[in-house]
Structure 1
Amino acid sequence: MKHGRIIWEGAGHAVTQAADGRVQLADGRLLREDEVEWLPPFVPGTVFALGLNYADHARELAFKAPETPLVFLKGPNTIAGHRAETERPADATYMHYECELAVVIGKQGRNVSREDAWGLVRGYTVANDYAIRDYLENYYRPNLRVKNRDGCTPLGPWLVDRDDIPDPMRLQLRTRINGQLKQQGTTADMIFDIPALIAYLSSFMTLNPGDVILTGTPEGLADVQPGDVIETEIEGIGCLTNTIIPARTSCISNT
């Protein structure tokens, strides 16, 4: 089943995807996806992001494949939902998308073996983890300005149950800019697969329900500009849409 969260008529709703692709409320009412405000399909806990976890992407950047997972953390401010807007900094000369399979943890675990790793997985969603290449100081450890900007990581639209994806290590990933295909790859090209990542992370810290692992992106990155509509799609999971806008002016909350 595909699960989501939306705001409609001023209230939050847990929803599912109907057979015709529309959004179904708990009472059975059906809505179009463009008449609701989308939230991330689950409430994220700790967000782990992988760098250089696809062999073709490492080659694209002329880097040697890492021998251990390259992991960094993302703050809650980075997460946005389906159909959200993401700002491009005014001084950026190269900002690119990253279509990624997001693995959502459903059970607590520590020191989990590869063999038991699948038991921790609740399901999967699509992530688009933007990066501003101008600010990158080190590919192996991206600094905060690259990967922790507000709204730079949309998730969704749906959280798909683990058992509905028979083999998450053989899924096609695609990214389109304004309808034009720019990126195409497969999760089979991951350097560290899902069980390896769960075993690695749980070897030194407890994984909890709601934690999410962004598993990296294949080759095929391109610059995006304000006005561009970016679609990141993963086979069997869904298509996540996002629009690039210019950087907003400063804002100070009164709360």
Structure 2
Amino acid sequence: MVDLMGEAAGAPPAIVLVEPQLGENIGTAARAMANFGVTDLRLVTPRDGWPNEKAVYASAGAVHVIENARVFDTLDAAIADLSFVIATTRRPRHMTKRVEGPAEGLAELTAVARAGHGTGILFGRERWGLENDEIARANIIVSFPVDPTFASLNIAQSVLLMAYEWRRIAAAAPTLPEPKNPPATREEVTGLWEHFKRVLTPTGYFRPPDMAEKMERNLLLLLSDANWDRQQVRTLRGVLGHIEKPRGEGDDGEG
């Protein structure tokens, strides 16, 4: 293969497999990653544990991807250091989150990577994919333009399509200027969401009780979709922290 990549392309995205069930599927996904120079594999609670010999065998030589794979107990931990995350899904979710095709979504991801920030792509379980709460943590959804009469893709196929599209776009995309402030990481955005929940819950905002979980997720969707930079997140958390203070605390005595 002729290598068209260089440092200007930015780091490849992390591939995050959420609760993968079979070692063979992890191995074939690793093989697909290696085909296009993507090597950061992150596993969230693989069902059959890790390491997994079946994954090694199925990787067909992509042992470097398997050996460097990292395992996380939660999705939040797996994406904490990433500033731009794509969630892949083939099912309509009826969520207030932007949906793009692979080319458009990976063009955005590549722009963030070229600026030196971490990126990732989420893939769900073999049987039912990603759950809505997991998708809510991503910046955008990417959906494949498959034939609706036979829309099923396995994990390796999905990883292959995204890795190929990333490499194609990263090799051709122009270098963009560095943003004034670095983008917020997913950990920082999740922290902002948790802070909002902590401030709003005592006010009775999340009601009625049977709708509270959905309302919390909708708030996360709103926050995770915005292209926050780190300074904006710090400013908002400062505002929330001020609201949390007991009345009069920090008062200069005037009023």
The structure with the greater share of residues assigned to strand is 1
TM range (shorter): under 0.3
More contact order relative to length (CA 8 Å, sep ≥ 6): 1
Which is greater in Rg?
A: 2
> Which has a greater percent of helix?
2
- TM-score of the pair, normalised by structure 1: 0.22
